[in-house]
Amino acid sequence: MATSKEGPERPTERLDIARGLENVPVSAWPPGAEPEPFQYTPDHIAGPGTDIDPTQITFPGCICLKTCLPGTCSCLRHAENYDDNSCLIDTGSQGKCANPVFECNILCQCSDQCKNRVVQQGLQFQLQVFKTDKKGWGLRTLEFIPKGRFVCEYAGEVLGYSEVQRRIQLQTIQDPNYIIAVREHVYSGQVIETFVDPASIGNIGRFLNHSCEPNLLMIPVRIDSMVPKLALFAAKDILPEEELSYDYSGRFLNLMDSKDKERLDQGKTRKPCYCGTRSCAAFLPYDSSLYCPLGKSNIS
C-alpha cells in the first residue's frame, strides 16, 4: 500500500473530485493538491466509434411485485447476485471464472429497495484520491469495506476499436494509459468486447492503480444497457487508509486463454510495476492487441 508522510485528510467542502456527482464527496490529499483536470461523469458515455449508446435502455424489466428470486425474476438468470448485506455472493475462486451480473433496471416493477439493485446505487464509501510515492495519483478508502461490497465503477467513454487504436498510437512511453479492454467469453464461443477510456471524461475509477495482489475484483454488471458497467467489488476486507487496486490484466480470479496470454506477454517496452507485493511481476500488464497498426486487428 502506498503511503504518504502525513495522515489522510477527511472529506471537506474545499474540494470534491467528483464535483457533487456522487453520493459521497471524494477528497484529495495532500491539502491544496489536485489531479490534472478532467470532466467528471459517474456513468459511461458514448465515445467515438461505438455503435451502442450505454445510456439507452435495452433490457425489459421484471414483473416481480415483491421479492425478486431466481426462477421467477427475469433479471436473475441463475442465482441471486447479492446477499442481504449487499455483498456480491460469487466473488470467484482460483481457477474459476467470474459470472456476469444482471441487476434489476428502471423498467422493473420491483421497488428501489430490491436487493438486486446495488451498483446502480452508486458510491457508498468515503474514498480519497491521494498522491503516491512512485505511481502518481492513487485511490484509497477512508473507512472499512467488507469483502464483496461494491466500491466504485470504472466509467468513461465507451469506444470503438479503431478509436482505441488511434488514441493509443498517439501515446508516448511516458503517457499513462487509461484505456481498458474487457473481454467476456460467452458459452457459444463468442467474445463480447468493451473498451472504456476515462482519461478525459471519467470517474474516480481512473485513479485506481494496478497491483499483482489486488484488493478489488472487476465484474461486468448490466442494468439498463447491453454495455456493462465495469463494477469493482472488494475481493477481501479492506481496512481504512488502504490503497484500492485491481489487476489491469484481468487475471485475478479469472481464467485467461492462450490468446489472452499472448496479448499480455508479447515483447514491447514495458512500464515498471511499483505495487510492492511479494508476487509482483515487475512490469505492468500489456495488451498487445491494442497496439496493432491502424486498420489491422489480431483480436479473434
For 137-172, what is each residue's pLDDT tens digit? 999 999 999 999 999 999 999 999 999 999 998 988
Please state the pTM of the whole predicted model: 0.88
Q: Please name the helix (run of DSSP H) or strand (run of DSSP E) that holds residue 208, with its range, or none.
A: none
Span 89-132, pLDDT tens digits: 987 665 466 778 999 999 999 999 999 999 999 999 999 999 99
Backbone φ, ψ for residue 136 (5° rounding): 75, -140
Q: Are 46 and 233 in contact (CB under 8 A)?
A: no
112 Cβ contact list (under 8 Å, min separation 6):
none
Q: Where exactly are the structural domains of the chain?
A: 14-254+269-292
pLDDT score of 289: 73
Calpha distance 82→113 (Å, rounded) = 13
Q: Which residue has the higher pLDDT, 130 or 256?
A: 130
CATH 2.170.270.10 is right for the domain spanning 14-254+269-292: yes
Q: What is the largest CA-CA distance in the chain?
A: 56
pLDDT of the residue at 254: 43
Query: Among 94-103, 212-221, 270-279, where is mean pLDDT lowest?
Result: 94-103
